[in-house]
Amino acid sequence: AQSVAQPEDQVNVAEGNPLTVKCTYSVSGNPYLFWYVQYPNRGLQFLLKYITGDNLVKGSYGFEAEFNKSQTSFHLKKPSALVSDSALYFCAVRDPMYTGTASKLTFGTGTRLQVTL
């Protein structure tokens, strides 16, 4: 069965510094990977995805993520953090072996990013 791990409950970073939010996955075959962001009392917003191709994926709001097959990781990064980036971030994976059309995703437990001045 597929699974996603976000090893850090919270990440703290100063504004202007680079940030990394970690995600590791476990699936059979090549995964489809996603990052979402959630602001308080709101739904999830899609940031970026990796399906195939270049290992470095660029997404919304200046975020990017690096797919590393050997380390089974898909870490979210941003070169310079903003206070407004403070939110809850979720990594998700779709099992490529799943043959149905429903595109079921498995989500991690989330990492809270706190950016301070």
46 binds other proteins (CB under 8 A): yes
Residues in the chain: 117
Q: 13 or 92: whose CB is closer to other proteins?
A: 92
Distance CA 79, CA 70 (A): 24
Among 13, 74, 94, 113, binds other proteins (CB under 8 A): 94
97 binds other proteins (CB under 8 A): no
The interface region with other proteins, picked from 15-23, 66-74, 79-87, 102-110 by CB under 8 A, is 102-110
Among 29, 43, 54, 99, binds other proteins (CB under 8 A): 43
Residue 16 gets the label, from left (phi > 0), alpha (psi -120 to 50) or beta, of left
At residue 75, the 3 state secondary structure works out as strand
Of 81, 97, 75, nearest to 18 by C-alpha is 81
69 binds other proteins (CB under 8 A): no
99 binds other proteins (CB under 8 A): no
Among 14, 28, 42, 83, binds other proteins (CB under 8 A): 42
Of 81, 44, 43, 49, nearest to 62 by C-alpha is 81
